[in-house]
Structure 1
């Protein structure tokens, strides 16, 4: 059985006592860390041993989704663990090299801990025994929404950070669990749209009809209103907040 554990559900500004984007996808074949934002490794250690990870997948290289790769790198080096497969968008390796240089630690700082692999929109690929499909999302950097399918056919979809785009509902159609960001508490009046609001998220949820929709990447101060606004627009689909520590079964 595959499950999803919420490690960090905050938006770019961490909620009190919480980590930013980080989720643990546990399948019979491997534990896959999805995102590794601020505070992720410390939060992960409340629930699982980071040494047991089989792979890490990052959807985009914004700090609230990847900065705790520094801490994960240190954990693996200190404990003399083998290099861990790290799946990054095509811009990712250059970002890691630049980060190592910016910290004064050298471009190869992450090399002892990670075996970096890149992915792109297109053909499915395997991560820890799970089949992954990536679709480029609508964000202000290269980012992907992803769908995990386990060997039994159960599907988990993660929107990543994105404005609304038509392909998101298609990717999420019929998923057992849809993990969807709702960062904007209300629809912005104008300007570029790089995140979802309740109306946008509900539009995706209502079209995709997943078994469960989990709202993530939210600010604690507006979370209850975001949940109520979203759920009211897509009756018949269970809609909940993604809360740190909770485990959700992903099964057909």
Structure 2
């Protein structure tokens, strides 16, 4: 299983990265052909990320897109995705699994400006996420965990085949946008890699919106993860501050995400 950071800037696209978008890939059998192939799943698709995705894969070969929540900085490029699938030069592409919280398709219509009766049935197969109800996409098992944010939101625990030994299974977790909560702590327990938002620093005192580097590191420490990657850092925030606050809570492997970073599990 491999994780690629397509976009990681917090709350908006930034000068060096698109907004939140993370590509998870794994090799596994195709149920239709029986052939082994690479499966491609996006966790979030923020502004600027669909174009950036083309650097890493043929965008026609996406298998699923999952939205952690419906704030625009995590799903605004869904319209670019929709246009690509509806108007591809050689003909419409097959409907794509699109999963997110309740109200997802209303949100898509709102961003797109289409009529309320637009179904997007030729582009998307919509699925409503539910707490701790797994989705299976090829060899990947993706389990949503309720997050602590200002709107209904989820983190994702992803289990898939090891890059080095496909017969063994590995796990990563992605917090989406959240503050500390029992559900996200449970989601992180024992994973190889925790991709955690750190949209706030200690100077931001409002709770129930974002983690800080320190709070993310505390989750990592208590969960016994192997490594922590901090993401969703605002373009006006110095990542060194976020790392320094994280180091106060945990002396494990900590880094910050950047566009193009790849992690093999």
Q: Could you state the TM-score of these two structures normalised by the residue count of structure 2?
A: 0.87
Structure 2, unpaired ranges of 5+: 29-38, 162-167
Which residue does 1:35 correspond to in 2? 44
Using the TM superposition, give the Cα deviation of residue 242 of structure 1 relative to its aligned residue in structure 2, in angstroms.
Answer: 0.8
Task: Confirm whether residue 108 of structure 1 aligns to residue 124 of structure 2.
Answer: no
Map residues 149-228 of structure 1 onto 2, 5 A cutoff: 149-151=159-161, 152-189=168-205, 191-220=206-235, 221-228=237-244
SS at match of 2:196: strand
Q: Distance in 2 between matches of 1:38 and 1:128?
A: 27
Distance 1:12 1:6 in 2: 16
**1:169, CA displacement in angstroms?**
2.1
Supply the distance in 2 between the matched residues of 1:153 and 1:46 (Cα, whole angstroms): 27
Aligned partner of 2:142 in structure 1 is 132
Q: Helix, strand or coil for the counterpart of 2:169?
A: coil
State the 1:14 CA deviation.
2.1
Moved more, 30-39 or 115-124: 115-124
What is residue 142 of structure 1 aligned with on the other side?
152
Whether the 8 Å CA contact 2:79–2:111 is kept in 1: the answer is: no
Query: Does residue 24 of structure 2 align to residue 25 of structure 1?
Result: yes
Match of residue 90, structure 1, among 97, 102, 106: 102
Q: Deviations over 1:181-222 (max 9, x none)?
A: 000022533x44210012211210111121211100002442
Number of positions where the alignment pairs a residue of Structure 1 with one of Structure 2: 245
Q: 3-state SS of the aligned residue for 1:154?
A: strand
SS of the counterpart of 2:209? Answer: coil
Q: CA deviation at 1:232?
A: 3.6
Q: Using the alignment, how far apart are the partners of 1:138 and 1:213 within structure 2?
A: 19
User: 2:217·2:228 contact (CA, 8 Å) conserved in 1?
Assistant: no
For 1:185 and 1:75, locate their aligned partners in 2 and report how far apart those are by CA, in whole Å. Answer: 37
Q: Cα gap change, 1:107/1:62 in structure 2, threshold over 3 Å: closer, same or farther?
A: farther
TM alignment of 1:113-124, pairs within 5 A: 113-124=123-134
Task: Report the alpha carbon displacement of residue 104 of structure 1 after superposing the two structures with TM.
Answer: 4.3
| Distance in 2, Cα, partners of 1:17 & 1:123 | 35
How far apart are residue 11 of structure 1 and its match?
A: 0.6
| 2:60 aligned residue | 51
Give the match's secondary structure for 2:63: strand
Q: Distance in 2 between matches of 1:22 and 1:170?
A: 23
CA contact (8 A) 2:76 2:111 kept: no
Distance 2:12 2:102 in 1: 26
Could you tell me whether the CA contact under 8 Å between 2:12 and 2:47 is conserved in 1? no
Please give the alpha-carbon distance, in whole angstroms, between the structure 1 residues aligned to 2:221 and 2:135: 28
* 1:33–1:56 Cα contact (<8 Å) kept: yes
TM-score (norm 1): 0.91
- For 1:175 and 1:243, locate their aligned partners in 2 and report how far apart those are by CA, in whole Å: 21
Alignment-derived partner of residue 239 in structure 1 = 254
